[in-house]
Amino acid sequence: MAVFKMPSLGADMEAGKLVEWLVKPGDKVKHGDIVAVVETQKGAIEIEVFEDGVVEKLVAELGQDLPVGAPLAVIQAPGEALAEPTEEAPPVAPKTATEPVAPVAEAAPPSAPPAATAAGIAASPAAKARAAELGIALESLTGSGPGGAIVLADVETTKPAATPSPAQDRGAYLAEMRKAIAAAMARSKREIPHYYVTHTVDVTAASDWLSAANADRPPEERILMGALLMKAMALAAHEEKAVNGHYGEDGFTPSAAIHLGLAIALRGGGLVAPAILDADKKSLQDLMEAMRDLTMRARAGRLKSSEMSMATLTFSALGESGVEAMAGIIVPPQVAIVTAGAPGPQPLVRDGKVIAAQAVTLTLAADHRVSDGRLGSKFLTAIDAKLQTPEEL
């Protein structure tokens, strides 16, 4: 018997609200199945289960605010005798005045249904967010949840031809997200001794290779410079292992797997950095497809719990129209982040002459408890070297 618990979905998460169950007692589940939807300050996250078995009991009720580690359900392994959980959901721990964390709402009573909208329609927060994203009016849907409430599955199965709803006010939601980001970044700068190294990379060879590789591809299948940067970064992390892993109570634990977090700006404001798992093992085409898919689902509020908790190293880029360079803040418990300015012509010295070449400026922010400037510079120069032979990425 295994107790399925509220997972940690990032350094800024203290608690989450259970807004939807996608399974019921008696359902069979396997590793990786999505079984619930939890709402955090960064949106609705699909929660995966990491064991095979049968759902014996749903412990947590819809609408509850539950801290990380609280039991959600009991999963019975094949052949096991029936068992009951021996622990109760702990209350959300009170915060001290010195810890800049975002406020968490009080837990709703176990029987509380999803909140009603201004129009008096009961709908889960995940369903409301998805309906707003698709432009679907809640009043056009038939709810299948408790008491006829609209749940996420009702929205997903609705045809896009539904009547669009008026634009919803996202101000309060974005304000809460900003609080969560501020809390995590303040903690990072307070607890992690950052150091920074910067390096400008000549990406002429990479740009030329991309032009040739994309010549016969339709726009939706073209590979962008960001994919090359991420692949080079993932491969370089194999050589400089002190940038890839987590720092915890027992110090630094390097990660054999390279799960690259990708910073994604959300429409209207806010930022998330979900992970592309095993980025070093993906082809450039597969990596580009993963980047597109992750960006689409992040902006639609459909990320998975594993993507929000498993990043070992983060990449952030300003795209084609940003500024020349920026410096990032490490996402705990990771120990490094690489940021890339916008690629463009920069004066570089080649064969003793100053020329205008396509270049991108990379900045590494890393944890001085784990590495130092010498190792950080080796990491950036390793990324540079790999970008000079893009056909090998």
pLDDT tens, N- to C-terminus, the chain (393 residues): 789 999 888 766 788 899 999 999 999 999 889 999 998 877 788 899 988 999 999 999 898 899 999 999 999 987 666 555 444 445 444 444 333 333 333 333 333 445 555 456 777 767 877 787 777 888 778 887 766 778 877 887 774 544 444 444 556 667 777 888 888 899 999 999 999 999 999 999 999 999 999 999 999 999 999 999 999 999 999 999 999 999 999 999 999 999 999 999 887 778 899 999 999 999 999 999 999 999 999 888 888 988 998 999 999 998 777 789 999 999 999 999 999 999 999 999 888 999 999 999 999 999 999 999 999 999 999 999 999 999 999
Report whether 242 contacts 335 (CB < 8 A).
Answer: yes
What does the pLDDT read at residue 43? Answer: 74
pLDDT of residue 392: 96
Hey, what CATH topology would domain 193-392 get? Chloramphenicol Acetyltransferase (3.30.559)
Q: What CATH number was assigned to the domain covering residues 2-158? A: 2.40.50.100
Handedness of CA 67, 71, 73, 75 (dihedral sign): positive
State the residue for tokens 């090359």.
228
Per-domain residue ranges of the chain: 2-158, 193-392
Q: CA 111 to CA 316: how far, in whole Å?
A: 42
Please give the Cα distance from 307 to 286 (Å, whole number).
16
Q: Is the peptide bond before 343 cis (omega within 30 degrees of 0)?
A: no
